[in-house]
Amino acid sequence: MEASASPKGHQAVASSRGHRSSKGLSWLMLLGQFLHLFHAPTDSDMKERVDEADQGSSTDVVKLSKDELFTKHNLPQQLPTLIEIKKAIPKHCFESSTKLSIYYMCKDFLQVVCLFLLCEWTWQVLPISVQFVITPLYWYVQGTFFTALFVVGHDAGHGSFSSSELVNTICGTICHTFILCPYYTWKLSHRSHHKNTNNMDKDEMFFPVRKHQDPNVEILLPFFGFGVGWFFYLVQGYRPRELKSKHNYPSPNNHHHHHYHHHHQQQHQQQQQQRQQSQHYGIISSRGVNINITIQYCQDYRCSDKFQESLGVMEHFNIWFPKFRGYVVQCAVSMASLIAWCLVLNSVRQCYGLGFLLYHFAAPCFVFGSYTVTITFLHHCDESNPWFGDDVWDDVRGRLSSVDRHYGWCHNILHSISTHQIHHLFPKIPHYHLEEATVHFRKKFPSLVRINNDPILLSFWRMFCAYKQKNIVEDSTDIFYFKRN
């Protein structure tokens, strides 16, 4: 019996040892990959990644030149330089007056206070039934005044409020903190928007989403959530784009873009092999693959430009966010100001009740947020306004790719923010010179003017429907318009 049982026993022991050995080997492989994360990628490493992608493609993609693309879309091949455009605008339009800017800021705050007192007075002398008419009107007008304060703070962020950076920071912080917007972090993210206007691969908001960048692209709040959407944007940005290294970022005419899909097919095959390998070595399959996928994601992140955040993600309440690197102190001051203001609002709640705070502050804030969503969307999304892929985009084209509109009765209250083309061309122009500068620009360069005088609400409805239908574009798209079916 011992003689016959001994071989089986040895086989069982050998099988057990082999199983443990292979399992240990697989965990060592995972450990090695994890430790490799902390090895800084060399230029040769990055070159190998690109070469692998380059070798994978066996088909040549025929692409149009920039001039051919512009001709195809009836766009001018040559544009004037910023210097040439600037020469058409009087020099005094670029000069800011601190006294005049402070006057507008004080006027806007006075409007808010006077309207608040007027509303409180109506509650004392008018029947409650009348308040059903007065209340929504009050919220709308007060929200408009809140938006005017935002525009003044927006001027400060661009440095057009005053020639003094200290004055800009103090006044901008006061205006934006009042309406719960972190001044300095928003200033930095807005700067990025101005540097990449209508670049579908780099702009901040309402950009077309490429098919390979599809995290929850089908989730679209009705009308972007209006005011709620604005505060969502402050918390987490608009939409995340995929993290890619600078060598294989899939911009439309980039040489490496044409190998993008093949490269990801290789990654998928590698993941399949890892899954089979983990099953062979006796590792729990899902756990092993998830670890490998996590490691691969971290490697991709490590190889991105200096751990850059994924474009489209913007955490305005996080002073440690990568885009704010180098401005932590200024951002911290903005956060401290917000916290102090929230404590004041909480004291108001304790004294007068939550209903009072919601009625006089939260509701107008929602209207203000709805204004910012509407303004930002309509000035950059129009059926005649192009979006460009990164390789065909340039600074002047981006600056010109905005649309002037008119806001009727509140146009002047909102400090001419609707004269958007000239603002993007020269953000240093104070709001009280925008109208004059726009007249000179339109006179000198009529072929470059983009203007839409349709009613704002009708335009918003049309463009939202177009955006909902068309917001996902092909990876190879170079120039795109939001046109309805």
What is the percent of the chain with per-residue pLDDT over 70, rounded to a whole number? 70
Rounded distance between C-alpha atoms, residue 163 and residue 143, angstroms? 29
Query: Is the pLDDT score of 101 beyond 50?
Result: yes
Rounded distance between C-alpha atoms, residue 165 and residue 178, angstroms? 20
pLDDT, residue 122, reads 95
What tokens were used for 136?
């929504």
177 compared with 391, residue with greater pLDDT:
177
Rounded distance between C-alpha atoms, residue 198 and residue 408, angstroms? 26
Domain boundaries, the chain: 95-240+317-480, 244-307
In contact, 84 and 424? CB cutoff 8 Å: no
pLDDT, residue 41, reads 43
Q: Which of 268, 265, 287, 272 is nearest to 26 (CA)?
A: 287
Model confidence at 135, pLDDT cuts 50, 70, 90, reads very high
Inter-axis angle of helices 43-55 and 260-280, nearest 10: 100
Inter-axis angle of helices 165-178 and 328-352, nearest 10: 40
Ordered alpha helix ranges (H), 57-163: 66-72, 82-87, 98-125, 128-158
Rounded distance between C-alpha atoms, residue 275 and residue 290, angstroms? 9
Residues 190-222 have pLDDT tens digits of 999 999 999 999 998 889 988 877 555 555 667
Q: Point out which residues pair with 344 in neighbouring strands.
A: none
- Weakest mean pLDDT among 82-91, 304-313, 394-403, 469-478: 304-313
Q: Which of 168, 141, 211, 221 is nearest to 476 (CA)?
A: 211
Helix (H, G, I), strand (E, B) or coil at 47: helix
Q: Is 188 exposed, middle or buried (0-12, 13-18, 19+ CB in 10 A)?
A: buried
In contact, 267 and 242? CB cutoff 8 Å: no
Query: Is the pLDDT score of 50 beyond 60?
Result: no
Helix (H, G, I), strand (E, B) or coil at 210: strand
pLDDT, residue 312, reads 54
pLDDT, residue 463, reads 93
Query: Is the pLDDT score of 447 beyond 90?
Result: yes
pLDDT, residue 65, reads 84
Q: What is the mean pLDDT of residues 408-423?
A: 95
180 compared with 65, residue with greater pLDDT:
180
354 compared with 58, residue with greater pLDDT:
354
- Weakest mean pLDDT among 192-201, 210-219, 337-346, 408-417: 210-219
Model confidence at 289, pLDDT cuts 50, 70, 90, reads very low
State the pTM of this model.
0.75
Model confidence at 351, pLDDT cuts 50, 70, 90, reads very high
Q: Which distant-in-sequence residues (6+ apart) come within 8 Å of 330 by Cβ?
A: 169, 184
In contact, 405 and 459? CB cutoff 8 Å: yes
Rounded distance between C-alpha atoms, residue 382 and residue 243, angstroms? 28
pLDDT, residue 220, reads 63
What is the percent of the chain with per-residue pLDDT over 90, rounded to a whole number? 58
